Amino acid sequence: MEWEMVNALVAAIAVLITLVGVWYAALQLRAGQKTAKGDFLLRLDDAFQRHQEVHRRLRPGGGWADETHGPATQAEWIMVEQYMGLFERIKVMVDDGIIDLDTVDRLYGYRLFNIVGNPIIRRAKLESEAASWRDFIGLWQALEARRTATAR
C-alpha cells in the first residue's frame, strides 16, 4: 500500500514536470516564431530597398505621382516589373500563411497602392497584361477588400 502511494506521488510529479516542460517549450516556440517573423520582415525590407528608385518616383510628389508620368524606357519598365514581382512573392507568402494580410497592408500596402494609382502602369500591366500579373492583382484585391471591411 505504501509503495502504491509512493508510485502515485512519483507519477504525479512526473506529470507535473512534463506539463512544465511542455509549457516552457511552447513559450520557446512562440519566442522563436516572433524572432523569425522579425528577421523575415527585416529581410523583406532589404528586398524593398532594391526598389527605392521606383518607390521614390511613385510616391506622392515623385516624378510618376501624377496621371501623365510613368515609366517610358525599357529600363524603367524592367525596374517596375521587378518591383511588382516582389509584391507577387508577398502574395504567395500570404497564401502560404507566412505573413498575414494585415501586416502586409500596414507595412507595404501604401507602396502597392502607389503602383496601382499610376494610370500608365495600371493600363500597361494590370489591364493589358492582367493574366501575367494574377498574383499582384490578387494581392491588390485582397488589400482593397481588407481596407473596405476595416472602414465599415
Residue 64: is it exposed, middle or buried by C-beta count within 10 angstroms (0-12/13-18/19+)? buried
pLDDT at 1: 67
Give Cα 145 distance to the centre of its chain.
Answer: 16
Task: Check: CB of residue 83 under 8 Å from CB of residue 92.
Answer: no
E-strand ranges in the chain read: none
Taking Cα atoms as reference points, which of 89, 98, 96 lies closest to residue 48? 89
**What is the chain's alpha carbon radius of gyration, rounded to the nearest angstrom?**
25
CA 32/CA 110 separation, integer angstroms: 29
pLDDT of residue 24: 72
**How many Cα neighbours within 13 Å face the side chain of 26?**
6
What's the whole-number average pLDDT of the chain? 90
Mean pLDDT by runs of 10 across the 152 residues of the chain is: 77 78 75 77 91 96 91 97 98 95 96 96 96 97 94 78
* pTM for the full predicted model: 0.79
